[in-house]
Every structure is written in C-alpha cells, then in structure tokens.
Amino acid sequence: MSDQPFGTRLRAAMDARGPLCVGIDPHQHLLDLWGLPDTPEGLATFTFGVVDALADQVAVFKPQSAFFERFGSAGIAVLEQATIRLREAGALVIIDAKRGDIGSTMAGYAAAYLSEKGPLACDALTVSPYLGFGSLQPAIDEARAAGAGLFVLALTSNPEGPQFQSARTTAGPTVAGAVLDGLRDLNADADDLGSFGAVVGATIAPTDENLDIRGPLLAPGIGAQGATAESLTAIFGAAARNVVPSSSREILAAGPSATSLRDAATRTNDAFRTALGY
C-alpha cells in the first residue's frame, strides 16, 4: 500500500513537474512515423523511447491499453515493463483501460491493475460506470486499500457520449451529474485532492454540470483533437487547478529523437502551467 493516497501524490507530482499528462498511444501511424515496424518489437522500441526520454520530466503518463493489447501477451509485457519503469522514475501512471463490470469480474480487474501485487499495478485506472455507479465498488475498495485512484467516465467528448451522459436519471440529475455526485461523495473526506477523479473531455462545450468534485479531472483531447491550454479554463472554471490535461500525438510525433520529445513536452507543459495557474 502506498504511504499516501493517490490524490495527495498526484498533487505533489503536478506541483513539482507541472500538470501535463503524456498519453502513450502507439498507433500504427506513429510507429510508421518513427520508422518502426508494426510489431511487438516496434512497440517496445517506441514505448521505451518515450519512457527513457520523459520519465524523469513529466508528472503523469497515460498508456492506452488497447494499443498494447492488440499485440497480445507480448504487448501486455511491454505495458507492464513501461509501467514499472515510469513509476521507478517518480512518475505516476494512469492505465487507460476503461474497465467496467460487476461483482467478482470487476474485482478481478481491480486486482490486476490496482492491487499493490497486481501484474499491471498502476497509480490509477480509468473505469466505466455504465453498469451503475455501484458496480465500481470492488475497484473503489481496492483503490482505497492500495492508495491508488480511479478516473470514471463522466463527460466524454465523443459525439455519441451525450446519448447516455446527458440523459436524465429517475432521480432527476443527468447520468453525468450522478457520476460527478458519486465522485464528490467519495472525495468528501480528502484533505486536499481526492483520489477519485472524472474523465471530462477537453473538447466538450462549457457545461452546467458541477465539475468541482474535490478530485482530479482527466482531460484528454489536447492538441491533435483540437483543445488548447487556454480553452481549459473556459470548460473547467474554478476547478481548473484540478485538471490533468492529457496530450499524446502532439508530443509523440516529435520522436524518435529524445531531445525533440523533451522539447515538445516542455513547451506543452509550460503552456499548461500558465493556463492553469502553476
């Protein structure tokens, strides 16, 4: 179990290194751009190139599990080793797997990603609440026990999202609002930043939902998807200091040169520092 909860460690990491979260998304076109084959060996060269260049500079990394899973066990092995190396360098790792299930199955996912002895033990995991917020309880319990965190899908920027997220529950709030309420309750006893966060797309329109959940707000969509550092304050308002802005392609495309990767990350991080008040 970590000595400090995830939210406390996240705040300290962002204060020390800046708020940038680098997404590690080994798309085939990025492997092509780096001159690498679309194979497990190419995946490893790409991933460890990012890790070696940025692990001691960036606060948070978000590997997208799908791009590792597509190579089967060899790809998962790369994800496992990358997570270990990033954490050893003092960075925090959010595995973007969007797991969501019920009962013992959800407990199994939690054991794999959140348990201190789990094979893919990370600092936080993205999860889906669409089998009911209560279905997340095994992951919530495991995260609390391990000092880890969760990021729960709430207001995603994909065009299909509002069909579910903006729908009204029988109690009155929107589905997204109910998710945010649930997270606010989980973070109620946090001294500063809670460990239970929401995924809120950086490209959504300004919303009437209350984003002050006393926890972190993972905001993908920076750069290639159109959002900018300056646009974050319009969306997140008073909660902007809790935003974890995630950028992937804009930074990863600067490789394979380690110097170019570091320069791209520094430029992006500096823009976020200014926009978010660091």
The mean pLDDT of 2-22, rounded to a whole number, is 96
Residue 86 lies in a domain: yes
Q: Residue 227: is its pLDDT beyond 90?
A: no
Q: How many domains does the chain have?
A: 1
The mean pLDDT of 114-127, rounded to a whole number, is 97
Domain that holds residue 72: 6-168+193-206+215-223+242-276
Residue 32 lies in a domain: yes
Residue 147 lies in a domain: yes
pLDDT tens sequence across 63-115:
999 999 999 999 999 999 999 999 999 999 999 999 999 999 999 999 999 99
> Where in the sequence numbering do the catalytic residues fall?
98
> What's the confidence (pLDDT) of residue 37?
98
> What's the confidence (pLDDT) of residue 223?
67
Residue 33 CB neighbours (<10 A): 16
Beta strands in 66-163 (DSSP E): 92-99, 124-127, 149-155
Q: In the predicted model, what is the mean pLDDT of the chain? A: 95
Each as own residue / partner, the long-range contacts of residues 181-189 (CB below 8 Å, 24 or more positions apart, any chain) are 182/129, 182/133, 182/152, 183/152, 183/154, 183/213, 183/215, 184/210, 184/212, 184/213, 184/214, 184/215, 186/140, 186/215, 187/7, 187/213, 187/214, 187/215, 188/214
pLDDT tens sequence across 133-156:
999 999 999 999 999 999 999 999
Residue 186 lies in a domain: no
> What's the confidence (pLDDT) of residue 225?
65
Of the chain, the percentage scoring pLDDT greater than 90 comes to 84
Q: Residue 231: is its pLDDT beyond 90?
A: no
Give the C-alpha distances (Å, rounded to integers) separating 81 from 25, 44, 70, 158, 250: 15, 10, 16, 31, 24
Residue 134 lies in a domain: yes
Distance (Å, rounded) from C-alpha 202 to C-alpha 220? 6
Q: Residue 224: is its pLDDT beyond 70?
A: no
The mean pLDDT of 169-195, rounded to a whole number, is 94
**Is-contact 27 252, C-beta < 8 A?**
no
Residue 80 lies in a domain: yes
Confidence of residue 234 (pLDDT cuts 50, 70, 90): confident
Distance (Å, rounded) from C-alpha 269 to C-alpha 248? 12
Residue 178 lies in a domain: no
Residue 233 lies in a domain: no
CATH number of the domain where residue 26 is located: 3.20.20.70
